[in-house]
Amino acid sequence: MRVMGVDPGLTRCGIGVIDAERIHRPALVAVDVIETPSVSAVDTRLGGLADAFDRWLDAHRPDVVSIERVFARHNVSTIIGTAQASGLTMGLAARRGIPVAMHTPSEVKAAVTGSGRAGKAQVTNMVTRILRLDAPVKPADAADALALAICHLWRGAGAAGSTPGMTKDVDTRQGGGRQGSSLTPAQQQWAEALKSAGAPRRR
């Protein structure tokens, strides 16, 4: 099971990939932050983000993409940029037939730390521990992307035929007309492994 996490943002878009060949022992594959210059036109920035995201999809070929659900903030300009980046990455994944899952910040925090109100430092610390890294992941955008990937691994793909994070958030894909309640072959294998091992859906 390979999950790509995306912490959407127009100026800074965190992106991380994890593999989970062993139950509840995900491993880091790659992580980075895609940046676009704020002085450039929005269309140019979105084009640059699209090119970079496409390269990540080509290089890592995830089974699912986990993206933070956009929610209202006081800073309207920030939420607009976040929504643009979120929609862009969703569309690029969908174009390739890759399932997309949406998770709220509180869901991610709860899955990774056990508390939906955890701070960024707590999230970074737990991501570092879960992935058994020698040093904390920086910046926070990168750590958040990995947390999103871990969240989906533990919450969204915990049982065959039941993907809480995907049920309402995945559009119909190319060819098969499948919705979020269906699993890809890789997700099905992962879910069956969890079931056989008697592993819980959530940490």
Q: Which two tokens stand for residue 7?
A: 């912490």
* pLDDT given at position 75: 75
Give catalytic status of residue 169 as yes or no.
Answer: no
Query: What φ, ψ does residue 59 adopt, rounded to 5°?
Result: -75, -35
pTM: 0.79
> Of the residues 63, 68, 107, 144, which is catalytic?
68
pLDDT tens column, 137-183 = 999 999 999 999 999 998 865 433 333 333 333 332 333 333 343 45
Give catalytic status of residue 7 as yes or no.
Answer: yes
Helix (H, G, I), strand (E, B) or coil at 107: helix
Give catalytic status of residue 107 as yes or no.
Answer: no
Is 203 exposed, middle or buried, given 0-12, 13-18 or 19+ CB atoms closer than 10 A? middle
* pLDDT given at position 70: 86
pLDDT tens column, 47-69 = 999 999 999 999 999 999 999 99
Measured CA to CA, the distance from residue 87 to residue 67 in angstroms comes to 10
> Of the residues 19, 63, 141, 144, which is catalytic?
141
